[in-house]
């Protein structure tokens, strides 16, 4: 998928546990794990908001667009 | 460290999380209530057959014959066993309802277990409704044969209660089917976090 999730990197940089972030955001650890792996179909704005609030970061720090050769214009 | 940031600790938990906690707490309570109801119904029926005077039993069963002076423990036990048939199916449904509430309490609202349990509840209620007139007929046969010289009476009553219970169980079964279909749609939504 062209959208890469860098959440795992940000968590490691800030030394934040997934369990704590999941509890704050209000999602299960399993879903957070799926998000870190980029295996979710979508991300709600309120989830993104709470992640950014907890990690004190911008959405762009968490998501990166890396187009595949088919997706390039 | 995040724990040093003042603002993070001042933010209240998400509203959805609080609502889910309420659902889980109520479901845990209801799971216990189902067991209590099942036990109370069984105990109530046992006490009815153990303690109710023979005249009252005959009156409530609608038999025209003159009742004997007393019922033996064997007859009372047989009456309890026959009466337990529709109640057993209802308890089977209540145990399924308990499984459903357990699933809710674990946070699995639209799970296969919860919906299958709801379907089992509907089946239990339907079987209870269908066996009620059969049990009543059995009781009628049992009690009518007791007075000396009396012939056996076989009567079959189909009451509005039975039809209502059947209709209600059908509605619950349809709801369970709709929920099953909806889980497949919800599965896709679940992949949104």
Task: Compute the distance between CA of residue B77 and CA of residue B155 in angstroms, rounded to an integer.
Answer: 21
- Residue B2's pLDDT band (boundaries 50, 70, 90)? very low
pLDDT tens profile B79-117 = 999 999 999 999 999 999 999 999 999 998 888 899 999
Across the range B178-186, mean pLDDT stands at 85
Chain B residue numbers with beta carbons less than 8 Å from the beta carbon of A34 are 191, 193
Cα angle B113, B119, B122 (rounded to 5 degrees) comes to 145
Nearest chain A residue to B107, by CA? A28
Which chain B residue is nearest to residue A53, measuring alpha carbons? B8
- Chain B residue at shortest CA distance from A12: B1
Contacts of A35 in chain B (CB under 8 A): 193
Q: What are the tens digits of pLDDT across the range B4-29?
A: 444 445 556 666 788 999 999 999 99
Q: Using 50, 70 and 90 to split pLDDT, how confident is the model at B184?
A: confident
CA distance B188 to chain A (A): 8
pLDDT for residue B53: 87
- Of B63 and B92, the structure prediction assigns the larger pLDDT to B92
Q: Spell out which residues of chain A touch residue B2, defining contact as CB-CB under 8 Å.
A: 14, 16, 20, 54-55
B4 close to A (CB below 8 A): no
What share of chain B in percent tops pLDDT 90?
52
Residue B117 CB contacts under 8 Å (≥ 6 apart), including other chains: B96, B97, B99, B100, B103
User: Nearest CA of chain B to the CA of A69: how many Å?
Assistant: 26
pLDDT tens-digit profile of A9-59? Answer: 999 999 999 999 999 999 999 999 999 999 888 899 999 999 999 999 999
Cβ separation B193–A16 shorter than 8 A: no
Residue B12 CB burial class (10 angstroms; 0-12, 13-18, ≥19): exposed
- What mean pLDDT do residues B50-54 have? 89
pLDDT of res. B57: 84
Question: A19, A29 in Cβ contact below 8 A?
Answer: yes
What value does the CA radius of gyration of chain B take, rounded to a whole number of Å? 24
Q: Among residues 18-37 of chain A, which lie with CB inside 8 Å of chain B?
A: 20, 24-27, 31-32, 34-35
Give the one of A26, A41, A53 whose C-beta lies nearest to B17's C-beta.
Answer: A26
pLDDT in tens, B134-146: 999 998 888 887 7
Asked whether the beta carbons of B49 and B62 are under 8 A apart, the reply is no
ipTM: 0.71
Distance from CA of A64 to the nearest CA of B (A): 18
Tell me, yes or no, if A48 comes closer than 8 A to chain B by beta carbon. no
How much is the average pLDDT of B58-71?
74
In the numeric block, which tokens belong to residue A1?
């998928």
Backbone phi and psi for residue B11, each to the nearest 5 degrees, phi listed first = -85, 130
Q: Copy the structure tokens of residue B103.
A: 């699933």
Residue B70 has pLDDT above 60, yes or no: yes
Nearest one of B128, B133, B139 to B38, comparing CA atoms: B128
Judging contacts by C-beta atoms under 8 Å, the chain A residues touching residue B18 are none
- B69 vs B11, more confident: B69
CB pairs under 8 A between A and B: 41
């Amino acid at each position: 998928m062209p959208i890469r999730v860098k959440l795992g990197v940000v968590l490691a940089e800030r030394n934040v546990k997934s369990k704590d972030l999941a509890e704050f955001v209000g999602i299960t650890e399993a879903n957070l794990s799926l998000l870190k792996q980029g295996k979710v179909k979508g991300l709600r704005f309120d989830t993104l908001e709470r992640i950014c609030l907890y990690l004190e970061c911008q959405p762009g720090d968490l998501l990166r667009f890396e187009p595949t050769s088919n997706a390039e214009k | 460290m995040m724990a040093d940031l003042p603002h993070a600790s001042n933010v209240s938990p998400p509203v959805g999380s609080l609502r889910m906690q309420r659902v889980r707490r109520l479901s845990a309570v209801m799971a216990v209530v189902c067991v209590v109801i099942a036990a109370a119904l069984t105990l109530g029926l046992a006490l009815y057959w153990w303690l109710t005077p023979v005249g009252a039993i005959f009156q409530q069963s609608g038999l025209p014959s003159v009742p004997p002076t007393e019922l033996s423990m064997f007859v009372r036990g047989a009456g309890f066993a026959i009466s337990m048939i529709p109640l057993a199916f209802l308890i089977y449904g209540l145990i399924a309802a308990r499984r459903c509430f357990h699933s809710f309490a674990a946070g699995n609202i639209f799970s296969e277990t919860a919906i299958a349990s709801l379907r089992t509840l509907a089946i239990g209620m339907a079987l209870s409704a269908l066996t009620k007139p059969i049990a009543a007929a059995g009781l009628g046969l049992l009690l009518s044969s007791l007075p000396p010289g009396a012939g056996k009476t076989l009567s079959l009553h189909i009451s509005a209660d039975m039809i209502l219970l059947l209709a209600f169980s059908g509605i619950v079964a349809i709801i369970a089917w709709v929920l099953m279909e909806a889980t497949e749609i919800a599965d896709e939504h679940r992949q949104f976090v």
